[in-house]
Amino acid sequence: MHSERGLRHLVASFPPRAEAGFWVADYDGVVAWTMAHRPWWRATNSGYLWIGVLPSTRGRGLGGRLYERAAGRLGALGLERVHSDVVGDAAGERFLAARGFSQTRRIVISAVDPRAVDRARLAQTAVAGSRRWRSSRSSTGPRSTESSA
Amino acid sequence: MITDNDERNAPMLAINRLNRRLGHEPFVERRVFAREL
């Protein structure tokens, strides 16, 4: 879920070379949105598509209509493939699967509150990790880029 | 503090397993999908 402020910042950050398109469904307020763009940070024939629909307005076909706009935009740009992703939303996964998408990657997101970390344990873990690293380095032998003539 | 690691990035996932001792826990997955246009 994105905040309105976060989305506005994201939209404003797209450079012209992203060739981004944005659409919203507005029923006395925005209830669904989509955007489609080129990944501007690398050369590729793939595009990226984002869709968000408020849970209270799902099941009315808004996401599907927005998807058609966004996918059409990417196709018009001559792109051959479209990527999208879902974070903890089974309905979002079903939405994509129903439109022919297949899962390609899984990314594990982890978190810790630094204020809750036990500093003594952190120090022990750091020392143990350092020993393990040194041990693995010594078992593989010294590395050298020099060659004997 | 949040980290995200591709499931194919074995070294980073191994580090995360170590970090679990400190309370650094996986809490959600981001699944990437694709289709041909």
Is B19 part of any domain? yes
- B3 in a structural domain: yes
Q: How far is CA A100 from CA A14, A87, A109, A125, in A?
A: 27, 18, 25, 45
Containing structural domain, residue B9: 1-25
| Confidence grade of residue A139 (pLDDT, cut at 50, 70, 90) | low
- Spell out the SS3 assignment of chain A: CCCHHHHHHHHHHCCHHHCCEEEEEECCCEEEEEEEECCCCCCCCEEEEEEEECHHHCCCCHHHHHHHHHHHHHHHCCCCEEEEEEECCHHHHHHHHCCCCEEEEEEEEEECCHHHCCHHHHHHHHHHHHHHHHHHHHHCCCCCCCCCC
- Whether B9 maps to a domain, the answer reads yes
In this predicted structure, the answer to whether residue A4 has a pLDDT above a threshold of 90 is no
- Nearest of B15, B23, B1, B19 to residue A117 by alpha carbon: B23
Number of domains in chain B: 1
What is the chain B residue with the closest CA to A48?
B34
User: Is the Cβ pair B3, A111 closer than 8 Å?
Assistant: yes
pTM: 0.77
Assigned domain for B34 exists: no
Domain residue ranges in chain A: 4-97
A67-113 tens-digit pLDDT: 999 999 999 999 999 999 999 899 999 999 999 999 999 998 888 88
Instruction: Answer whether residue B30 is part of any domain.
Output: no
Is there a domain that residue B32 lies in? no
How far is the C-alpha of A120 from the C-alpha of A139, rounded, in Å? 29
In a domain, B36, yes or no: no
Q: Given this model, what pLDDT does residue A140 score? A: 59
Interchain proximity B16–A118, CB inside 8 Å: no
The architecture that CATH gives domain A4-97 is 3-Layer(aba) Sandwich (3.40)
Is residue B11 domain-resident? yes
